[in-house]
């Protein structure tokens, strides 16, 4: 993998200094310190590459995921609980499902603002999405064998990351063709999100939403609104309620395979 990496990118082992205790599976590479002119901050980009990437010529759909430090490595994840995105996609590759995943770590206290798209509530989500679309995506498309078209480009997250991901699907409809919100914190946006969705046209693509029975609602209401807007359950919209599911990385890791099985074939 090393010889096929674009300049300035690091293998995950080199990025961590070959220290023990990391749990990454498969090929994950990192570009440290990517500057955002939209937000005036910088963060590392973590990119999962599917099996066979280094030795093949195929192009792959791309999923941009929030809370990047929680996706691949229990050593960096909140509470030591990762999403197991890498393990999940390694397993799904045996089913013919493959994708590049770009993990964007959150910026600590700035997470609340960056994942909230409504300025009236202190949000900087518009600038964050501009960062993904105008800075990160061109960088990824230039460095890796992506399928850059809308239909093969998605955005996915949980909690507030789910809020900004679903909003991004509608706000940047020319860029994102699918989106997922696991336990999305739609309630955080108040009435702003529902008003925004009611104004938004029906867009081609697909959406995945879920929630656990032991957490705050919001996803169900949005799913009903999307059905009213013309999305069809089982075709271009999936809504799942998990009995006993809680609001944590363990639950999202458990439901991620189903989310990707719904979204990726349509990409």
Per-residue pLDDT tens over the stretch 34-74 = 999 999 999 999 999 999 999 999 999 999 999 999 999 99
pTM of the model: 0.96
How many structural domains comprise the chain? 1
Q: What is the CATH number of the domain that holds 202?
A: 3.40.50.1820
Spatial neighbors of 95 by CB under 8 A, at least 6 apart, are 261
Range of the domain at 211: 2-266
Indicate if the pLDDT at residue 90 is higher than 60: yes
pLDDT of the residue at 4: 66
CA 175 to CA 196: how far, in whole Å?
A: 18
User: Are the C-beta atoms of residues 239 and 209 closer than 8 Å to each other?
Assistant: yes
Q: Which of 167, 186, 84 is nearest to 124 (CA)?
A: 167
- The string of pLDDT tens digits covering residues 160-212 is 999 999 999 999 999 999 999 999 999 998 889 999 999 999 999 999 999 99
- The string of pLDDT tens digits covering residues 207-231 is 999 999 999 778 999 999 999 999 9
């Amino acid at each position: 993998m090393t010889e096929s990496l674009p300049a300035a990118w690091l293998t995950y082992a080199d990025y961590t200094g070959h220290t023990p205790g990391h749990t990454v599976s498969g090929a994950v590479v990192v570009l440290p310190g990517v500057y955002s002119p939209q937000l005036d901050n910088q963060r590392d980009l973590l990119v999962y590459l599917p099996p066979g990437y280094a030795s093949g010529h195929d192009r792959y759909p791309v999923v941009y995921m929030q809370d990047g430090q929680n996706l691949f490595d229990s050593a960096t994840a909140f509470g030591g609980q990762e999403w197991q995105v890498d393990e999940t996609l390694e397993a799904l590759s045996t089913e013919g499902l493959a994708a590049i995943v770009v993990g964007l770590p959150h910026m600590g206290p700035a997470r609340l603002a960056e994942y909230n798209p409504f300025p009236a509530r202190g949000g900087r989500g518009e600038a964050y999405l501009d960062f993904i679309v105008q800075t990160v995506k061109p960088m990824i498309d230039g460095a890796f064998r992506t399928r850059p078209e809308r239909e093969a480009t998605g955005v996915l997250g949980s909690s507030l990351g789910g809020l900004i991901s679903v909003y991004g699907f509608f706000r940047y409809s020319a860029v994102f063709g699918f989106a997922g919100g696991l336990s999305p914190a739609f309630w955080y946006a108040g009435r702003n999100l529902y008003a925004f969705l009611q104004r938004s046209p029906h867009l081609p693509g697909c959406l995945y939403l879920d929630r656990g029975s032991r957490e705050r609602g919001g996803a169900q209401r949005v799913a009903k609104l999307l059905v009213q807007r013309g999305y069809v359950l089982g075709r271009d919209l999936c809504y799942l309620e998990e009995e006993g599911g809680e609001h944590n990385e363990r639950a999202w890791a458990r439901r991620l395979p189903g989310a990707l099985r719904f979204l990726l074939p349509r990409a």
